[in-house]
Amino acid sequence: MEQLFGSKTRVKLLQLFCNNPNRSFYVREITRKIDEQINSVRRELANLLNIGIVKSQNRNNRLYYEVNQKYEHYQSLGSMFAGKPRKKSGLKLASDKKLAQTIRGMGSVDLILYLGSFTQDATTDIDVLVVGDVNKTQVHNFMADLEDEEGRELKYVVLSTEEFKYRQDVNDRFVTMVEAAKKTVIYDPSALMEETRKRVKNSTKEE
């Protein structure tokens, strides 16, 4: 694979991006994850940007990179580097499925969302929202492990289903923020987000 693509660093970058299509990374974060020198990473990122395989965005004085899902050969690259063809959007990551399965083992879960740094949304400082009747100590320990894996602090909120639904009923500001924020729905078997959309929409009409 390295001979085919001309660079070990380039191969590692493609593996990282294709396995995390809805995630963005800054340079030093990438160097830690793929264990390569920063100069080599910068050089290959420039090459991938020039080709159009990745795209970049400035956020909070950092330049973030993510795979360009509109790139014409995106699905082919996904087949080679992620192990299976990928759609251009809406496909949950294997890591997301693992996260959902792990948290579901901690109780009764009705909603898991990625927000904030996971979706490049600076309007909220919350990265993960978990709604359900779960063991908060287990969730805390799991998030601590996830922080170690990410190499950074993650902000998360755990709400019981009863409290979340109450906040829906009173059109709570937090729930309205969650609806307005850019997010990735990891798990929503009870369609809580759909209910939130309806309530926020109705509230806006009444105003």
Span 118-162, pLDDT tens digits: 777 777 878 899 999 999 888 888 888 877 776 667 789 999 999
- Give the tokens for residue 68: 């360009």
* Better pLDDT: 35 or 85: 35
Average pLDDT, integer, range 107-117: 88
- Which CATH fold would you assign to the domain 94-206? Beta Polymerase; domain 2 (3.30.460)
Place of tokens 């993510």: 66
**Topology agreement, domain 2-81 and domain 94-206:** no
CATH 1.10.520.10 fits 2-81, yes or no: no
Enter the DSSP assignment of 117: G
What is the pLDDT confidence band of residue 201, given thresholds at 50, 70 and 90? low
Strands lying side by side in the sheet with 184-187: 156-159, 128-134, 107-114, 184-187
Name the residue among 55, 52, 54 with its Cα closest to residue 15: 54
pLDDT of 80 reads: 80
What's the pTM?
0.54
Residues forming beta bridges with residue 56, ordered by sequence position: 65
Domain extent listing, the chain: 2-81, 94-206
